[in-house]
Amino acid sequence: MTQTSFKPPWLLVNVTGLLDWARAVYTANKLLFDGKINTVGAVTLTTDSTTTTITDTRISINSFIQLMATNDNAAGETNMKFTTAEGSVTLTHMSDPRTRTFRYVILG
């Protein structure tokens, strides 16, 4: 997971630092406009269990989590319950010995 923080421009004391800051802000905004947000991940459901936990500092109690199946076994998983907390979400699902993998996006 890549996270970038930007120093405020008034803390930069030279022109080169200010230009680097402006370039970093421009790049971050361009990625956002291109739909490349840094809120995605992957998860494999725990086999032979009914819960799987995703731990991620970007998750809050008000986050919206959307899953996308990445294999045939995952595509058959139709009834999951999501319980969010600060820093994690617990997925309640059917117990299955097969590997079920998903990509996810976190919003909010």
pLDDT per position as a tens digit, 13-66: 677 777 888 888 899 899 888 888 888 999 999 999 999 999 999 999 999 999
Cα–Cα distance between 52 and 39 in angstroms, integer?
A: 19
Any idea which residue has 């959307």 for tokens? Answer: 66
Q: Which two tokens stand for residue 97?
A: 């010995």
Q: What is the pLDDT of residue 37?
A: 83
Q: What letter would DSSP give residue 50? A: S
pTM (two decimals):
0.72
What is the pLDDT averaged over residues 68-72?
95
Q: Which two tokens stand for residue 22?
A: 């402006």
- pLDDT, greater one: 87 or 37: 87
Q: What is the pLDDT of residue 79?
A: 87
Mean of the per-residue pLDDT values of the chain: 87
Those residues whose C-beta lies under 8 Å from the C-beta of residue 31, and which sit 6 or more positions away, are: 37
